[in-house]
Structure 1
Amino acid sequence: MTLASTERASPIVTRRELSLSPTGLAVGLSFLFVAVALLARPLLPIDETRYLTVAWEMWNSGNYLVPHLNGETYAHKPPLLFWLINLAWAVTGPSEIVARLVPALSMPVAVFLTSRLGRELNATRRGAESALVLASMLVFVALSSMTMFDGLLTVCVLVGLIGLVRAGRGERSGFVLLGVAIGLGVLAKGPVIAVHLLPAALLAPVWAARRASWKGWYLGVVCSIAIGTAIGLVWAIPAAIAGGQEFANELFLKQSAGRVVDAFAHKKPFWFYIAILPLVLCPFTFSRSAIRSLVSWPSESAREWRLLTISAGCGFIIFSLMSGKQVHYLLPLLPAAALLMQRVRNVPDDLRWFVLTLAVCLVMIAVVVSLDVFDLPTLHINADGLLVLVGLAAMLMLARHDLTLAAAFTAIVFLGLHLHGWRSAFIPYDLGWVGTELRSYHDPDVAFVGLYHGEIAFLGRLDRPVAQIGSADISSWRTAHPRGIVIAVTDMYHRDLETQPDLQRPYRGGMMALWRPLQPEQTNAAPPP
């Protein structure tokens, strides 16, 4: 039986059940999730605030070659995201919403490209419905809307997989597309793009159409790698020269080998991704047919679909062996997983499977939390709101629903968490009040007590670096800088502060405190009450 006949024999969603195309529905949902995330969720420290600060310093200095953070070179991430944000600002002017919209748009683009990848695999309807599977994955939806680099990387990976499929059919343009994807992936998040694309390229005899000689294939792969490397080096070499020896060493050594061998941050045990996999695949964790489809090896009549198994499987194994681990590192693996999981029938298939997988999920999450390897933030969610969300989710999960209701489940949980979180969970992370206070003064000196991660420069539109001081230096620094503003992150009781602050708000389990200038000189705005 051919793949096409299999699709006709057992469609997930009949046209009577779903008048709108699955791709259209998936892309529409993605835009809805992006809008809700931007409007109902503040800019979250410390990652999102840091990346927008880097983009702001690039805009403010006019130096688009070497990224900077607080006046010093910043080699931790490549510049593609910062370039795109600055390109958008060139049209609209500096804006938080516009800056956050740039990476968030990778969500609907990735959803659309997932459908396109299915079409390239000669399964148009299956690809379209896989787009809806991807748009219904709660972790993908939540993380893709954040100002990080993994959404852009996901788009690059999908372009590369499309290029591999075309090259497997004998189209030389596929190797060019693969090379461009590698190059843009390097500029988006560094050499990690190789983890997602090279295993599938090197194992082409397993999935691509048989040919008399594979010499031409591997020559094409080498050319693709050369194209991608050249695209990356066009920026990296001039940036390394301009940034200096320390910047060059960090760019070429620490940010590649350092993450694999001995992570300087986010170190987790090898089983970390296995433990959180039920959460990553939610709500399809509770579908027996979806999990069976994910782990099954495609039939001989659908050799090209093995590409997806190799891409997602090898990527998962390699990331598990790496020292540094974060949930969002798995984001580029999810489109391939969605295409493999498309054959889901009901979610859940039966009550016993639901109860079993729910118990496994709870046990794994409990183990991860108890061993303190998840870096969980302090959340402040009212019990009544959480119970409502859990009740709505359980009603859908127990309703033996199809793919459209899986999307409804994700929409309810995502919208509920964001709308409820605006009043509770996100309050300790909202630094908008700090930005408002800083912008009310004209070009103030600013000092930060403790380790500064770029939390406030963009929010306050600061033109100068932030001084870093100790808690014992607050009074002396204010005396030396009477127009200066001091900001400190403290515990709830201010045990380490020698003077009481003028303003304070809850911040990530503690407090953020602010001291106003001793002699404020303001322009164009009155001081906040």
Structure 2
Amino acid sequence: MLERAGTAIAIAAFGLVALAGIWMRPLLPVDETRYLAVAWEMHLGGDWLVPHLNGVVYTHKPPLLFWLIDLTWAAFGVSETAARLVGPAFGMATIVGTAVLARRLWPREPGIGGRAALVLAGFGFFAIYAGLTMFDGLLAFAVLLGVLALVVSDGSRRGWIGFGAALALGGLSKGPVILVHLLPVALAMPLWAGTRAGPMLRGLGLSLAVGVLLIGLWLVPAMLAGGAEYREAVLWTQSAGRISGSFGHGRPWWFFLAMLPLMLWPWIWSGPLWAVLRRLDLRGERGLRLCAIWAGSALVIFSLIEGKQVHYLLPTMPAAALVVARAMGRAPWLARPAALVPALVGAFLLALATGWAPDPHLARQAVPGWGMALAGLLFLALAAAAFRLRGLRLAALGLGFALAMDALFLLSAAGSIQDPAAVAAAIAPHDDAGIAVLGRSYQGEFSFAGRLQNPVVAIGDLAAAEAWLAATPGAVLVAPLDRSHPQAEPAEVIAFRNADYGIWTAPSGAAPPVTPP
């Protein structure tokens, strides 16, 4: 009963927080808006083989997330809400899978599945990122399935086939990065499972064959349809190229080590937990060895790769949850130092409410003052709760933090400023005539919000933009006012992200359109 109750509570709590986030928080540019734009173009064009963004082949990610969004739209109709349910659904599936894996690793430990589910849902990092429309939630589920296949089958042929299917699922979710998470776990089976090297290598070969075969069902037709440029991007630029280059996310090797205290908050902010962890028998428990290899290998490999984003380690969170859940079986402890994180955030928001802001872009979002003050009080309430919450009840701290972060968008101007809907609504009526963006690389920010049917013209030169606008009847030009823009008064100015965007409209009687340079 306790086992099922813990898992059910974790799923329900995470699901409610995710739903509240969908209601309170807009699609976040540029990632979430870009992914919905790709799914929207797939819906419009009907090309499920080769994704497109703004009319151009999109090579950065495989198509699974876009397929799932389009399937959701096919079932429930096109809407932002339906699309944003995909990410949280995989977050809940990962919580369930973590509970199942915990029971398999420690079958004689009462209630460990429910504990593991609550610990995972209660990581503030997981509660936030698993609720977003991104690829890492899908990847985390694929990684968990791969580990589960190895544990449940104990090296059998069926298990290796299941492992190959998990490789394919991860490959279709985010590409070859699935190998970074799962290959070390499989290769280290002699260390954590006692499997002999020979059978392990033969089984891994079978898994790789299954994975390549399943991915090939999409990849081969897609490469034939996408042309030479798409083949080069998929086979090299977006795989090996991401390892050798930063792709705009270059950070020092110690970045993930510095972020670990926040990623593992609030659970590891407890002195008693560390005391229990030191007494756990790493050599005697295969589950602990597995988790150490699973999380540790990913941490080391991603630290060596130049490009780093904090959400790259989301697939390792189940491993951390399993270790914490195993330790919690021996002591329900307090984590009073965890109060520091929400206390600092709350104090910062209260300072913003008084008019203090270290950055002008931040100041424009820190209104109204009462909203920022209320958000700050929410975080301070979480800090106060940290002094009383004990054991599994600490999950409320992480989930509450995610909820308060979403509420911040509702209570302040951050929600409207980050929301592309206002700009999209202003330019959408000009879709047939023509829409151009000047001064910034267009990443599909307005395509789904405006339900645009045609590509947006991206122009980098002011003179070319003015010539295009003058020669295109009924068209509209969008440009941030903090960069080069037309001197004429814009028809409308809308705050979006870190700038005010001006909107210039061409007279309906302008000359016939010409191709922009």
For the residues of structure 1 that align with 2:395 and 2:45, how far apart are their CA atoms?
44
Pairing 1:414–2:402 present: yes
Letter in 1 for 2:418: Y
C-alpha contact 1:166 1:173 (8 A) present in aligned 2: no
Pairing 1:51–2:42 present: no
For the residues of structure 1 that align with 2:297 and 2:134, how far apart are their CA atoms?
23
What secondary structure, in the 3-state scheme, does the structure 2 residue paired with 1:483 have? coil
Letter in 1 for 2:496: Y
Aligned to 1:457: 447
Aligned to 1:311: 294
C-alpha contact 2:462 2:484 (8 A) present in aligned 1: no
For the residues of structure 2 that align with 1:250 and 1:183, how far apart are their CA atoms?
19
Pairing 1:483–2:497 present: no
Deviations 1:510-529 (A, max 9, x none): 11222345339xxxxxxxxx
Among 91, 104, 128, the residue aligned to 1:142: 128
Among 228, 243, 248, the residue aligned to 1:245: 228
In the TM superposition, residue 427 of structure 1 has moved relative to its aligned partner by 2.5
C-alpha contact 1:26 1:132 (8 A) present in aligned 2: yes
Q: 1:19 to 1:237 in 2, by over 3 A?
A: closer
For the residues of structure 1 that align with 2:397 and 2:447, how far apart are their CA atoms?
38
Q: 1:483 to 1:473 in 2, by over 3 A?
A: same
In the TM superposition, residue 264 of structure 1 has moved relative to its aligned partner by 2.3
Pairing 1:259–2:242 present: yes
Pairing 1:198–2:183 present: yes
C-alpha contact 1:378 1:508 (8 A) present in aligned 2: no
Deviations 1:434-484 (A, max 9, x none): 232344456341111121111111111122111112334443222211211
Aligned to 2:513: none
Q: 1:292 to 1:110 in 2, by over 3 A?
A: farther
Among 199, 216, 221, the residue aligned to 2:199: 216
For the residues of structure 2 that align with 1:293 and 1:83, how far apart are their CA atoms?
44
For the residues of structure 1 that align with 2:225 and 2:374, how far apart are their CA atoms?
52
What secondary structure, in the 3-state scheme, does the structure 1 residue paired with 2:411 have? coil
What secondary structure, in the 3-state scheme, does the structure 2 residue paired with 1:275 have? helix
* TM-score with structure 1 setting the length: 0.85
Pairing 1:392–2:381 present: yes
Aligned to 1:320: 303
C-alpha contact 1:34 1:105 (8 A) present in aligned 2: no
For the residues of structure 2 that align with 1:473 and 1:266, how far apart are their CA atoms?
31
For the residues of structure 2 that align with 1:442 and 1:94, how far apart are their CA atoms?
19
Pairing 1:98–2:87 present: no
Aligned to 1:499: 488
Pairing 1:155–2:147 present: no
1:6-45 equivalence runs, <5 A: 21-45=5-29
User: Which has the larger displacement, 388-397 or 138-147?
Assistant: 388-397
Q: How many residues align?
A: 482
C-alpha contact 2:145 2:163 (8 A) present in aligned 1: yes
What secondary structure, in the 3-state scheme, does the structure 2 residue paired with 1:244 have? helix
Aligned to 1:374: none
Q: 1:46 to 1:66 in 2, by over 3 A?
A: same
Deviations 1:260-308 (A, max 9, x none): 1222221111011111111111112312244456677644442243111
C-alpha contact 2:466 2:486 (8 A) present in aligned 1: no
Letter in 2 for 1:436: A
For the residues of structure 2 that align with 1:296 and 1:263, how far apart are their CA atoms?
39
Aligned to 1:514: 503
Among 52, 64, 67, the residue aligned to 1:80: 64
In the TM superposition, residue 378 of structure 1 has moved relative to its aligned partner by 4.7
What secondary structure, in the 3-state scheme, does the structure 1 residue paired with 2:285 have? helix
Q: 1:179 to 1:301 in 2, by over 3 A?
A: same
Aligned to 1:165: 151
Pairing 1:423–2:406 present: no
What secondary structure, in the 3-state scheme, does the structure 2 residue paired with 1:320 have? helix
In the TM superposition, residue 358 of structure 1 has moved relative to its aligned partner by 6.7
Q: 1:446 to 1:414 in 2, by over 3 A?
A: same
User: Which has the larger displacement, 313-322 or 421-430?
Assistant: 421-430
In the TM superposition, residue 410 of structure 1 has moved relative to its aligned partner by 2.4
C-alpha contact 2:436 2:477 (8 A) present in aligned 1: yes
For the residues of structure 2 that align with 1:336 and 1:396, how far apart are their CA atoms?
26
Letter in 1 for 2:6: P
C-alpha contact 1:294 1:337 (8 A) present in aligned 2: no
Deviations 1:209-229 (A, max 9, x none): x46x44223211110111112
C-alpha contact 2:479 2:502 (8 A) present in aligned 1: yes
For the residues of structure 1 that align with 2:221 and 2:277, how far apart are their CA atoms?
44
C-alpha contact 2:245 2:306 (8 A) present in aligned 1: yes
Q: 1:326 to 1:299 in 2, by over 3 A?
A: closer
Q: 1:19 to 1:60 in 2, by over 3 A?
A: closer
Aligned to 1:180: 165
Q: 1:409 to 1:519 in 2, by over 3 A?
A: same
For the residues of structure 2 that align with 1:43 and 1:400, how far apart are their CA atoms?
32
What secondary structure, in the 3-state scheme, does the structure 2 residue paired with 1:66 have? coil
What secondary structure, in the 3-state scheme, does the structure 2 residue paired with 1:468 have? strand
For the residues of structure 2 that align with 1:465 and 1:304, how far apart are their CA atoms?
51
In the TM superposition, residue 172 of structure 1 has moved relative to its aligned partner by 2.9
Letter in 1 for 2:102: G
For the residues of structure 2 that align with 1:120 and 1:285, how far apart are their CA atoms?
24
Letter in 2 for 1:141: A
In the TM superposition, residue 27 of structure 1 has moved relative to its aligned partner by 0.3
Question: What RMSD, in angstroms, separates the aligned Cα atoms of the two structures?
Answer: 2.7
Pairing 1:69–2:59 present: no
For the residues of structure 2 that align with 1:134 and 1:286, how far apart are their CA atoms?
15
In the TM superposition, residue 20 of structure 1 has moved relative to its aligned partner by 7.4
C-alpha contact 1:163 1:175 (8 A) present in aligned 2: yes
Deviations 1:104-126 (A, max 9, x none): 21111111111011122124621
For the residues of structure 1 that align with 2:277 and 2:87, how far apart are their CA atoms?
28
Aligned to 2:323: 340
Aligned to 2:390: 401
For the residues of structure 1 that align with 2:333 and 2:250, how far apart are their CA atoms?
34
What secondary structure, in the 3-state scheme, does the structure 1 residue paired with 2:501 have? strand
Letter in 2 for 1:103: G
* TM-score with structure 2 setting the length: 0.87
Aligned to 1:228: 211
For the residues of structure 1 that align with 2:332 and 2:464, how far apart are their CA atoms?
62
